[in-house]
Amino acid sequence: MSFSRMAAGISLSLLLSSCGIFHQTKISEPTGKSEHTLSQKVIDLARKKIGSPYRAGGTTVTGYDCSGLVYSTFEEVGMKLPRTSVEQATVGREIAFEHVRPGDLVFFATKKNDRKISHVGLVTEIRDKEVVLFIHAANTGVKEDNLFSEYYRRTFVTARRTF
């Protein structure tokens, strides 16, 4: 891990802990793994969960909710994320919609007339400038959708880079 990356992680941890925000917000990354390898591993693990059912509060193959899918997948590679989508949206650094890449987290406000984050997904693939796939646990189960579909484009709030 580079010194600048380690310093950024420490700064984020100090900032969050000094604000009284969730102590588990620090991302712990296993040593010796490159960013690309680790993000691809997370994507591969998440894709193995496609077809799993939706279950509120779920974090296992018997059922996932959106943040449970992200939480458990990152945990499988040794990275600790907060449990809820609102908390997960505080991790890493914010990036613009048009700059997302595989491994980034994308957050949405899916409740009508409410801009509060209520959904999270993981960018898995960029096919072209209007097809960016992300995996998430929808009410129909774990699946991939296009970030550029009308619904997700309209409900998008922010994206975060954790790698």
Domains within the chain, CATH numbers bracketed? 28-161 (3.90.1720.10)
At 35 the pLDDT is 67
Q: What confidence tens digit (pLDDT) does each residue in 24-41 have?
A: 333 334 445 566 799 999
Which amino acid is present at 119? Answer: H
Query: Rounded mean pLDDT of 16-28?
Result: 31
Residue 103 has pLDDT above 90, yes or no: yes
Q: What share of the chain is helix, strand, coil (3-state, %, to 5)?
A: 35, 25, 40
Q: Are 92 and 162 in contact (CB under 8 A)?
A: yes
Alpha-carbon torsion angle 46, 49, 53, 58, nearest 10: -50
Tell me which H or E stretch contains 66: helix 66-76
State how far the Cα of 115 lies from the Cα of 43, in Å rounded to an integer.
Answer: 27
Catalytic residue set: 66, 119, 136
In the numeric block, which tokens belong to residue 14?
């100090």
Residue 1 has pLDDT above 60, yes or no: no
pLDDT band, very low/low/confident/very high, at 112 (cuts 50, 70, 90):
confident
At 36 the pLDDT is 74
